[in-house]
Structure formats: structure tokens, C-alpha cells
Amino acid sequence: MPGFLAPAGSGSTARAWMAPARRAAGLGDTRRRGGTHARAAQRPGATPGRWGHQLSAVLRGTRDPNPRAHRARAEALRGPPGTGDRGPGRGEAAGRPTPRPPRTGSRVSAGGAAPPRSRPRRLRLFPSAAARPPARDPNTGACSAAARDPGAARPRPAGRAMMLLLVGTCLVAFVLLLYMLSPLISPKPLALPGAHVVVTGGSSGIGKCIAIECYKQGAFITLVARNEERLLQAKKEIEKHSINDKQVVLCISVDVSQDYSQVENVIKQAQEKLGPVDMLINCAGMSVSGKFEDLEVSTFEKLMSINYLGSVYPSRAVITTMKERRVGRIVFLSSQAGQVGLYGFTAYSSSKFAIKGLAEALQMENRLLVLATFEKSGQYSFCMSAWHPMQAGEVDVKVCLFIEGTTVVSEMQVKPYNVYVTVAYPPDTDTPGFAEENKTKPLETRLISETTSICTPEQVAKQIVKDAIQGNFNSSVGSDGYMLSSLTCGMSPVTSITEGLQQVVTMGLFRMISLFYLGSFDNIIRRCMIERTKYGTADKTA
């Protein structure tokens, strides 16, 4: 039989395959007793044949690839000389070798009949753990403890559970530690009793409710607005919530978006009567909605002047005094439309987005104060203090500088200004301005706004005052507001470790939820466009 018809994977040649038939015919065994084939056959787990078959046996895991162990086992099987290289007790008579038992992996049975051919084995480069032989000691050949007890090498489920429990406990303890340390580095709350609070746009809406909330806590109020009649009405309403006879409500009529000099004079006038400003609430603003191509250019200029410059001018007028006194709060009233651009709010959203950039830059400028003492002239080196963005108190720094000149700084301290900025993002609120906005709101904008509930101005005012007192940078109302604040925080300042951890943990989840919101907004716009196209109507407001 040709060699290529021999069963694959048997490790035998054509002569080995025909050996039983030759012995039956009296031709004798023509297989070679020595040489490479004999030595390979005497090795446990190996079969005579080509080197490729031996390599296949190694890769299949049926042969131990350690050559030193092979030689030791081969010497033990050969036995003393004169036994036909068979080991003691295997020959029936001296000099007469007995037939070999069937070899491992051979397809020839003991009776000499060849078994039916089966599918050849595949060459496994990476055999499974079950097919691999047990690990043996190279010197003694004994199985290791792991091979005798397979379950001993595996990690026990109880130990794995204990490890997971330990990791979870450490994680929870770390979070609790940060939560307890968070108040130590947070800004000191501002005491409202006796404080002077200036509220622009305080004649109605959210501004008036903020003034009432501060007045309830014992603050002195200055209302700034354009309409004198509404100012007097708001003053009477605010005075009903006084807690002592010393509280005062001052009303000043001025347009905070037109002339900075007028705004500065008004602030000075209020400070002369009620003292330095401790908190400034920028609530002056308005909203106009409409498609981008339908809005006049003057509308963009008007909204930018009222919503943006109307917050810049009062803040510019009070910031110097706050830094000198090293205390103060500045609140900017933005909107949820200042966190995400919506259909119909091209002019309004842009003016509210600008407030966030102003607040972030202003917050970074108002966190450091350098106090220095100057002495004799000369050439010296000294150290100044550094400031940590999360530190509320005084910090000493290890930054060394070199001064050469007529004056030398002998003592320098770095302390925070303790002036904090808060940006509020209220949702749709039931105010007179919101009712005026609905008169020109496109249908798509109105349907998108209806996906969230309308808040009351009292609810919004309480949350803004609370966050301003604590010095929080972001102030949001409701679950939707919290989600938007976490999604749009970006590089915004963080005033507590807890707030930073919450933003890191919830960012991914909130991003997935926001995708569903954006998809629903697109569906609303698509349906409105289909309805207009179907009925052939022009764009109109609801």
C-alpha cells in the first residue's frame, strides 16, 4: 500500500501498516528494531514515524516535550542487555522477543486486523486544558499536587467573593471619606441677615421672588428695574415678609443695559444708603423666539444688550468693592436654553450661552488675593504662597522667586477673595416674561417646551438663593436641570468634591438619555414640517 494511503495521524509508515500481514504469511517482521523508529516507539506517548508526527503528538498534548524525561523513561524501559531491549519479565524465553503490545495511537489491534478508517485528527496548536497531560516532575516523573487534585489549583468561589467584597468596601469608604472632607474645602456660606442684596430685574418674575426669599432671611434689598410702577408694587409685596423693623427695601429705576456710567452711579447710591453690596442677582432679561431667517438683526442686538450687557454692567460696578472686602456673591440668571440650543431660540440661546463664558472667566479671576509687605532695598530671594482651586482658606506656597531692585518683599500671603460666582439655569417658569414669549413662539418650539413641566418662580428662587449662599457655581432646578448641568459642565469650576464625583459618575448615563431627548425633538420638528407640507400652509405661530 502506498505511503500516502496510510491513515493520517497514526504515526506509522507503509511497512508498519503491512507488518501483521507479513507475519501471518511467514515472512517475518520487517520492521526495524533499532534506530530512530525504535527509540521513538519506546518513548511513552510517542509513535514511530516522521518528525512531523512526533511534533503533532507534542502539540496535541499526547507527548511530554521534555527530552530529559524522555531519556530517563527510555532507559528504564530498555532494561539490562540480553533481554532484547525489552525490560525484565517481558520475554517468554531467553533471546526470543515477544510480540509488542499495541502501541499508543496505533490503528493496528492486537489481533492484527486493521480497524476501520476514521476521520484524521486535526493538528491543534493550542490544545485545551483537558487534553493536556498532567504536569510531572522532570526528575521523578511523579504528578504534581495540582494534577492529582485539579480543584486545588482553581480559585475558590468563596475567596473570590471575599475579594470583591473587600474592593467594594474600600470603594465605599473612599467615597464616604471624600463626602466628609467636601465641606472642609467648600466655600464658607454667606450670612444673609444684615447683608445687602441688589436684584436687577426685580420688579416681577423670578427676580421679585428672589428678593422676597432674601428678605425673609433678614437681608436688605435694592430693587433695580425700568418700570417705576412695578417697582413700587414689588416693594409693597416684599415688605410684607420682613422679620425685623430694621430691614429696608430700596427701589431705583434705571436701564442696566444702556449706559454703564448710570449703572455705576446707581450702585454707588445704593451702597451709600444700605452699605456695600454682599450679593448681586442679575435677573434682568427678555426672550424673543422665532426662526433665524425671520428675526430682524436688531433683535439679536437687543437680546445681547439686555441679557448679556445687562449682566456685565452691574457686575463690573460691584466687583471692586467685593474684592476689597473679600466677600461677595454674583449670580447670573441664564436658562436651560443657555445649555442646549433649541429650535426658535437662535437669538435668545446665544445671549444666554455668553453668560456662562463670562461667569467661568470671572470665577477664575476672583479666587486669588496677594498680600505683600515691602521693606529695605537689596537683592534677595523669597517664597510666595500658591493657591489650590479647591481650597477655601489661606494656603502657603513653595514657589521661590528672585527679586532685584530698590524694594524687596519680606512677607507675602496668598488668600482667596471669597467672591464666588453662580450661574442659574431655570427651566420654563410661570412668569409674565414667559407669557409674553409664548405669543411669538413657533409651533415646534412650543411643542419642545411642553416636554418638560413649568416651574413656579418661588421654587426657582429658593434653589437659586440656596446655591448662591453656598457658593455653588451651577444652580439647576429639577431632574432635567440636574442632567443638563452634568452634561454641560465641561471645564466649569467645581466647588466641592461631591459635585465633581457626581458629574464623573453620571456623565455617561446622562449622555445616553440625552440622545433620546434629541431624537424626540427631531421627530417633533419633522412632524411639523410634514403637516405644513401636507396642507400647504405657510409657517405660522401657534
Query: Looking at the annotation, which residues are catalytic?
Result: 334, 348, 352
- Alpha carbon distances (Å) from 290 to 255, 297, 343, 347, 427: 25, 12, 8, 8, 19
Helix axes 228-239, 205-216, angle to 10 degrees: 30
What does the alpha-carbon distance between residue 48 and residue 11 come to, in Å, rounded to a whole number? 6
Residues 6+ apart with CB under 8 A from 371: 412, 413, 414, 415
Residue whose C-alpha is closest to residue 41's, from 3, 74, 65: 74
Instruction: Using the structure block, give the residue that is written with the C-alpha cell 427678555.
Output: 286
Q: Which DSSP letter does residue 421 get?
A: E
Alpha carbon of residue 184 to chain centroid? 25
CA atoms within 13 A on the CB side of 390: 12
What does the alpha-carbon distance between residue 66 and residue 389 come to, in Å, rounded to a whole number? 63
Angle at 31 between CA 26 and CA 34, to 5 degrees: 135
DSSP codes of every residue in 12-54: --HHHHHHHHHHHTT----S-SSHHHHHHHHSTT--SS-HHHH
Q: Do 178 and 189 meet the contact criterion of CB atoms below 8 Å apart?
A: no
Alpha carbon of residue 59 to chain centroid? 46
Instruction: Using the structure block, give the residue that is written with the C-alpha cell 527679586.
Output: 403
Q: How many Cβ atoms sit within 10 Å of the Cβ of residue 366?
A: 19
What does the alpha-carbon distance between residue 11 and residue 3 come to, in Å, rounded to a whole number? 11
372 forms beta bridges with 412
Q: Which three cell numbers stand for residue 110?
A: 492486537
Alpha-carbon torsion, ordered 392, 394, 395, 396, to 10 deg = 180
What does the alpha-carbon distance between residue 77 and residue 75 come to, in Å, rounded to a whole number? 5
Instruction: Using the structure block, give the residue that is written with the C-alpha cell 484524521.
Output: 120
What does the alpha-carbon distance between residue 173 and residue 170 come to, in Å, rounded to a whole number? 5
Q: Which DSSP letter does residue 342 get?
A: -
Q: Return left, alpha or beta for 344; rule: phi > 0 is left, psi -120 to 50 is alpha, else beta.
A: left
CB neighbour class for 148 (10 Å; exposed up to 12, middle 13-18, buried from 19) = exposed
Q: Which three cell numbers stand for residue 405?
A: 531692585
Task: Give the three-class secondary structure for 420.
Answer: strand
